[in-house]
Protein backbone atom coordinates (compact mmCIF):
# COMPACT_ATOMS: atom_id res chain seq x y z
CA UNK A 1 0.00 0.00 0.00
CA UNK A 2 1.30 3.44 -1.01
CA UNK A 3 1.69 5.51 2.09
CA UNK A 4 3.59 8.00 4.19
CA UNK A 5 4.36 6.79 7.70
CA UNK A 6 5.42 8.79 10.72
CA UNK A 7 6.74 7.70 14.08
CA UNK A 8 5.97 8.22 16.83
CA UNK A 9 2.33 9.22 16.52
CA UNK A 10 2.25 10.77 19.97
CA UNK A 11 5.12 12.09 22.04
CA UNK A 12 5.40 13.88 25.36
CA UNK A 13 8.84 15.22 26.20
CA UNK A 14 10.56 17.85 28.30
CA UNK A 15 12.28 21.05 27.31
CA UNK A 16 15.77 20.50 25.96
CA UNK A 17 15.62 16.75 25.37
CA UNK A 18 16.60 16.04 21.78
CA UNK A 19 14.09 14.10 19.72
CA UNK A 20 13.61 12.81 16.19
CA UNK A 21 10.35 12.25 14.35
CA UNK A 22 10.76 9.84 11.47
CA UNK A 23 9.01 10.02 8.12
CA UNK A 24 9.14 7.38 5.42
CA UNK A 25 7.38 7.02 2.06
CA UNK A 26 7.24 4.00 -0.25
CA UNK A 27 6.20 5.81 -3.44
CA UNK A 28 9.67 6.78 -4.70
CA UNK A 29 8.78 10.46 -4.40
CA UNK A 30 11.49 13.06 -4.89
CA UNK A 31 9.79 15.81 -2.91
CA UNK A 32 9.21 15.60 0.84
CA UNK A 33 8.12 18.23 3.30
CA UNK A 34 7.41 18.80 6.98
CA UNK A 35 4.54 20.95 8.26
CA UNK A 36 3.26 21.93 11.65
CA UNK A 37 -0.43 22.58 12.24
CA UNK A 38 -1.57 24.94 14.98
CA UNK A 39 -5.06 26.29 15.76
CA UNK A 40 -5.72 29.55 13.95
CA UNK A 41 -2.48 29.29 12.00
CA UNK A 42 -3.16 26.35 9.72
CA UNK A 43 -0.45 24.26 8.12
CA UNK A 44 2.93 25.95 7.92
CA UNK A 45 5.92 24.49 6.16
CA UNK A 46 9.01 23.84 8.29
CA UNK A 47 11.49 22.30 5.82
CA UNK A 48 11.30 20.65 2.46
CA UNK A 49 13.52 18.49 0.28
CA UNK A 50 13.53 18.35 -3.51
CA UNK A 51 15.64 15.19 -3.58
CA UNK A 52 18.37 13.28 -1.76
CA UNK A 53 20.87 15.62 -0.06
CA UNK A 54 18.82 18.69 -1.11
CA UNK A 55 16.94 20.44 1.69
CA UNK A 56 15.71 23.97 2.23
CA UNK A 57 13.92 26.07 4.79
CA UNK A 58 10.21 26.66 4.74
CA UNK A 59 8.33 29.37 6.61
CA UNK A 60 9.07 28.31 10.20
CA UNK A 61 12.44 26.48 10.30
CA UNK A 62 13.76 27.87 13.60
CA UNK A 63 14.48 25.14 16.14
CA UNK A 64 14.30 22.30 13.61
CA UNK A 65 16.77 20.31 11.53
CA UNK A 66 16.24 17.79 8.76
CA UNK A 67 18.32 15.44 6.67
CA UNK A 68 17.68 13.51 3.45
CA UNK A 69 20.25 10.78 3.12
CA UNK A 70 17.89 8.34 1.42
CA UNK A 71 15.02 9.03 -0.94
CA UNK A 72 12.39 7.36 1.22
CA UNK A 73 13.27 8.94 4.60
CA UNK A 74 13.05 12.53 5.81
CA UNK A 75 13.48 12.75 9.60
CA UNK A 76 12.67 15.90 11.56
CA UNK A 77 15.06 16.66 14.41
CA UNK A 78 14.40 18.92 17.37
CA UNK A 79 17.80 19.44 18.99
CA UNK A 80 16.49 21.30 22.04
CA UNK A 81 12.68 21.27 22.06
CA UNK A 82 10.81 24.15 23.68
CA UNK A 83 7.14 24.44 24.68
CA UNK A 84 6.36 26.61 21.63
CA UNK A 85 7.13 23.56 19.49
CA UNK A 86 4.13 21.77 20.93
CA UNK A 87 2.11 21.10 17.81
CA UNK A 88 0.74 18.58 15.35
CA UNK A 89 3.37 17.66 12.76
CA UNK A 90 2.75 16.28 9.28
CA UNK A 91 5.15 14.85 6.77
CA UNK A 92 4.16 14.90 3.09
CA UNK A 93 5.60 13.66 -0.19
CA UNK A 94 4.95 13.94 -3.90
CA UNK A 95 6.64 13.92 -7.29
CA UNK A 96 6.61 16.44 -10.11
CA UNK A 97 3.38 16.25 -12.10
CA UNK A 98 1.23 14.78 -9.37
CA UNK A 99 -1.82 16.72 -8.26
CA UNK A 100 -1.35 16.23 -4.56
CA UNK A 101 1.06 15.96 -1.72
CA UNK A 102 0.43 12.77 0.21
CA UNK A 103 0.30 13.37 3.93
CA UNK A 104 1.26 11.10 6.76
CA UNK A 105 -1.06 10.49 9.72
CA UNK A 106 0.54 13.17 11.91
CA UNK A 107 2.62 13.27 15.07
CA UNK A 108 1.21 15.05 18.07
CA UNK A 109 4.04 16.51 20.17
CA UNK A 110 3.76 17.99 23.63
CA UNK A 111 6.84 19.71 25.08
CA UNK A 112 6.63 20.37 28.82
Shortest distance (Å) from residue 73 CB to other proteins: 18
Helices and strands, number each (H, E), in the chain:
0, 11
Contact call for residues 35 and 90 (beta carbons, < 8 A): yes
List residues near other proteins by CB under 8 A.
4, 30-31, 33, 35, 40-45, 48, 50, 58, 90, 92, 94-101, 103-106
In angstroms, the CA 102 to CA 79 distance is 26
- Provide the minimum distance between the beta carbon of 80 and other proteins in the complex, in angstroms, as a whole number: 26
Q: Given the complex with other proteins, which of 15 and 60 has the nearer CB atom?
A: 60
Amino acid sequence: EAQVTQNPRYLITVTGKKLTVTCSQNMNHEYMSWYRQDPGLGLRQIYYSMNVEVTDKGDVPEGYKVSRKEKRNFPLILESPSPNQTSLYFCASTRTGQETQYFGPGTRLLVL
